[in-house]
């Protein structure tokens, strides 16, 4: 199958997450430009997500925890219930990002009530997880175990962002202490900021691939991945290998800038793997004052230089192919 990657699937939705449920629907969520709510939409086809009706299922608080920077929501169906995992900070400390959990009280995530379960809980005895800038959590299962993978900066906003992995005890609590999956080792992970974030999981032919995004959020943003055998100990650093070079990056000819923060789903045939990612159509990000919170009192010129408030990171798709060695290939076409 051929999917055009140059046309946005959903405009102005960064950090896109698509989940195909057993009911045959694709469920889509992502960061809205104002970072103040969680929005869902669904469609029987991937292309139908573009114009699908949107449902605002949760809004940020006015103050305190979960009152600023509502980022990168993911919707998962675990143990017969719907959950949304997202990161948020607070108005009086805008970089105090932590992972939070919502639970749906029914089986219709678009219309049934969602309740807050609070912050994701670390395992007993773990005094390191979620104590600093933490975001971009995703969930996957392997060999009867469920895992939680997330990004965390130990040392504040300007520290290195690493990826961590732990087994889950329940949908809201970890079972094991954190294991550092990857830290920014290479030059392509260290442009402007030292960043590994936005993990997503792809399984193929006995292998587990965890893609991640690297560097700052402009045109330097790119993707690499970690690879492990599905039968290995996923909480052992020796089980994993990192790509030496990025596997998806800016393509100036195709005008795809800063591709990253992806998720994986399948095409309508339920077989073909699809990568859903975000990217801009232009290189220089320009902050839009219209999407900046009123509490942000920075000068207009400073806001215009802030790439976080450029609303035009569009969700896009590409078909994942595999090379002769069974490794994923992310090709823009």
CA nearest 66: which of 88, 41, 44, 99? 88
- HEC readout, the chain: CCCCCCCCCECCCEEEEEEECCCCCEEEEEECCCCCEEEEEEECCCHHHHHCCCEEEEECCCCCCCCEEEEEEEEEEECCEEEEEEEEEECCEEEEEEEEEEEECCCCCCCCCEEEEEECECCCCCCCCCCCCEEEEEEEEECCEEEEEEEEECCCCCCCEEEEEEEEEECCEECCCCEEEECCCCHHHCCCCCEEEEEEEEEECCEEEEEEEECCCCCCCEEEEEEEECCCCCCCHHHCEECCCCCECCECCCCEEEEEEEEEEECCCCCCEEEEEEEECCCCCCCCHHHCCCCCCCCHHHHHCCHHHCCCCEEEEEECEECCCCCEECCCC
- List 74, 136, 152, 197, catalytic entry: 197
- Rounded-to-integer distance, Cα 258 and Cα 283, Å: 8
- Rounded-to-integer distance, Cα 109 and Cα 83, Å: 9
Is 283 known to be catalytic?
no
- Rounded-to-integer distance, Cα 247 and Cα 328, Å: 9
Is 124 known to be catalytic?
no
Q: Which residues have a catalytic role annotated?
A: 15, 197
């Amino acid at each position: 199958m051929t999917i055009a990657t140059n046309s946005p699937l959903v405009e102005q939705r960064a950090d896109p997450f698509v989940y195909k449920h057993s009911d045959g629907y694709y469920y889509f969520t992502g960061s809205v430009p104002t970072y103040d709510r969680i929005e869902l939409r669904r469609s029987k086809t991937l292309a139908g997500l573009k114009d699908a009706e949107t449902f605002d299922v949760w809004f940020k608080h006015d103050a305190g925890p979960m009152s600023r920077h509502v980022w990168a929501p993911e919707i998962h169906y675990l143990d017969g219930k719907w959950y949304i995992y997202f990161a948020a900070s607070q108005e009086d400390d805008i970089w105090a990002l932590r992972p939070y959990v919502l639970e749906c009280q029914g089986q219709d995530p678009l219309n049934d009530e969602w309740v807050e379960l609070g912050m994701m809980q670390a395992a007993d005895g773990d005094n390191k997880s979620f104590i600093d800038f933490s975001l971009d959590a995703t969930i996957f299962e392997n060999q009867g175990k469920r895992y939680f993978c997330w990004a965390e900066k130990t040392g504040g906003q300007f520290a290195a962002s690493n990826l961590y992995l732990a087994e889950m005890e329940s949908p809201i609590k970890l079972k094991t202490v954190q294991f550092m999956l990857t830290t920014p080792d290479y030059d392509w992970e260290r442009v402007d900021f030292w960043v590994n974030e936005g993990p997503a999981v792809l399984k193929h032919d006995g292998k587990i691939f965890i893609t991640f995004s690297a560097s700052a959020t402009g045109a330097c943003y790119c993707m690499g991945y970690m690879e492990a055998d599905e039968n290995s100990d996923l909480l052992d650093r020796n089980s994993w290998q990192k790509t030496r070079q990025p596997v998806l990056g800016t393509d100036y000819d195709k005008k795809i800038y800063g591709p990253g923060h992806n998720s994986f789903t399948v095409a309508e045939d339920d077989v073909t793997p699809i990568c859903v990612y975000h990217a801009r159509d232009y290189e220089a990000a320009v902050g839009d004052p219209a999407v900046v919170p009123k509490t942000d009192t920075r000068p207009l010129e400073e806001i215009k230089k802030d790439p976080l408030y450029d609303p035009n990171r569009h969700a896009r798709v590409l078909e994942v192919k595999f090379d002769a060695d069974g490794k994923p290939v992310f090709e823009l076409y």
